[in-house]
Amino acid sequence: MNIDWGSPAAHAFITNVGIITSNGPIGANAMAAEWTHQISYSPGLIAVAISNHNDATAENIRATKEFGVNLAATDQDVASSISGKSSGKNIDKIAVLKELGFAFYAGKKIASPMLENASLNVECKLVHEVKLGSHTLFVGEAVDVRVGAKEPLAFHAGKYWKLDTPIQKPSDAERTKMKAMVAAYVRE
């Protein structure tokens, strides 16, 4: 069964907005990837799902074995939209973003440009690639990390969101009660 892009099922997910940067045979490039996730603490691994449809970023990553992960901040929705609406094979998206006032810095340990003022920047070296249906999962090991001061941009139901209302975790008393209840159902 498929979960089609834009369908109610696909819109039920909430994700961050990764702007994946690369610099290879296609040139410097940025692409938006809502499927950008940390998958290991030690070593620090980040997985990015990239479409199998003739993608410039995938070609750059395969050629250079490295990429940048830039989690967009709440004021970088335009950067995300520009990065996700066209192919880096046809459009110099880095030049467009610079023209719009977005800044980049040179990666410390990779050749990819990194988006200034993102909520998180991670320079990655490719360690694994696996084709999974409509997308290929690129797994990179973190080689440099910069944590920004801005809140991350979220994506849900085809729209950008700002997270601003935290929900409290259960109280100590509630957690004690939950722990006792869970203990009562331990499988032998």
Report yes or no on 33 lying in a domain: yes
> What range does the domain containing 135 cover?
8-163
* Whole-number Å distance between alpha carbons of 174 and 2: 40
| Percent of the chain's residues with pLDDT above 90 | 84
Give how many domains the chain has, as a whole number: 1
The answer to whether the CB of 37 falls within 8 A of the CB of 46 is yes
Report yes or no on 84 lying in a domain: yes
Report yes or no on 178 lying in a domain: no
Q: What is the pLDDT of residues 150-175, one digit of tens each?
A: 999 999 999 999 998 889 999 999 99
Report yes or no on 188 lying in a domain: no
Task: Record the pTM.
Answer: 0.91
Q: What is the pLDDT of residues 51-108, one digit of tens each?
A: 988 789 999 999 999 999 999 999 999 999 999 878 888 899 999 999 999 999 999 9
Report yes or no on 176 lying in a domain: no
Report yes or no on 159 lying in a domain: yes
Report yes or no on 34 lying in a domain: yes
Report yes or no on 173 lying in a domain: no
The candidate with the shortest Cα–Cα distance to 151, out of 3, 10, 16, 1, is 16
pLDDT at 138: 98
CATH number for 55: 2.30.110.10
